[in-house]
Structure 1
């Protein structure tokens, strides 16, 4: 058996998409409680581009390669070891939580790096089934956005039915998921996007109001005119943060999930106090395996039924061949709507 696989690597400083190149590496080891996935497709996300440029180093213990989400088929399963207090014989393996999974099952998963490869090792607790009616390409575009938006919009943002969400970059993968999940949660959704095509895309996903920041750079008046926002989900940061605070209603929550403009901001804390506002945010990749397992289970319980019911739909924009990963990164740097995947 050939124990090597094709992977996408980065040469030099990774400043340009052309710095991506195909190489070979050993197949990843699968320890107890993990599975080996034969990759069908890998999602392409903004953090991949930042990592390629050396601006988003993998956290300790993470796979060093690019790629945070995949779809594929289970190639091998290594059951979890029983806990030390277990009455089972020492060294005996148990399937514990993974009894539902079998070799050959189609799955999608959030991975801790290394998704741009023919095989990837994944904690079995991080597996999700392919939603009914979704292709493998579409499924590869789902885990990162679904887990990020659920964690930040629903858990950190505490979104309730009847509230209003403001999301920036409504054309992005995170923005598109926020619009659909917010509407499915019974919220009103206001989105910003830059340019007619991106705005039309956000409207097509169900946004109640879309503000074109190409013609209306100061979105605050439009948001306040629509009743303000109870939750803001922001991937932009920079000068948007102070504007977001102006948009917030009393006891509103501002959730940061990206810093596209700048992570350093200037803020009048008196407005935070006046509005009893909460400023929060999170990253997905540095979370522990246990926390990701908890979040995966929640997404499976709360979000997958919405997907199966057709209330959250695929937003796959483009599929590139594995060897064209550089083209995929270049395409991501241009204007785009929706998600991008590589066909491995």
Structure 2
């Protein structure tokens, strides 16, 4: 059996420094904002897994449908020797790609990149056992910083699944796509998962389920700040809000203060005032149209070469080739 290799470019201290910087910048901004990556401590990851099981949260199941039905076509169109996956987590959906690429006879290596060293170690160990002929090389890193660390081994397919591209605002998306292009050689490919613009009611319900799991997930960012930065957020004083921004074509998740308060963040020496009704933006989830995806890819040096959607046209997997 092949032993998994792990490179660590992001330490716990790095993560703590980033949290402090993001919290200071975001809580003093007007309007207030926090990056969605801080949802994902152990509890946040567990809550997200529960969200993916909800009937209302269609993006997860729609992407899974495409991978299940089209993995063979993706493998044939890419001919990848190395599958690189960004934000891999447990690598659950990736197995369809691994199986299809293995069956196609091209796959030699799998390289997952994730910020969580523990999740990556568990996934790498499991995959090394499941695919004994596969070279598994994990990278503990941030896809916004460490794409240049990806080894150039064989023809690579860079997979960015889950619709995570939508959590980036346009300038961040452009930066990411340019970084992805810089990390790839001409002819190598990017497999991009993106939610599509559909009816607003369905999109909003996916981020505001009746059972309240997404609300609990949203509030978890305040738990993280309370624990890691010795803050005193009263979770009961904030309400989860999800809405469709038609102008920007994205879902916004916010936390709305239900009363006036001052939150003390001891680790930052910061007192943060909230007015009644004031909102803290915690996530955007952009939705896309085919022409817009093609335009953004082309601006970064990619050509859209394949486009697959689920049976209800709610989600797309795009294969783009580096020019």
Query: Do both proteins adopt the same fold according to a TM-score greater than 0.5, normalized to the shorter chain?
Result: no
- TM-score, normalised with respect to structure 2: 0.36
- Between Structure 1 and Structure 2, the one with more helix by share is 2
- TM-score, normalised with respect to structure 1: 0.34
Relative contact order: is structure 1 or structure 2 higher (C-alpha 8 Å, sep ≥ 6)? 2
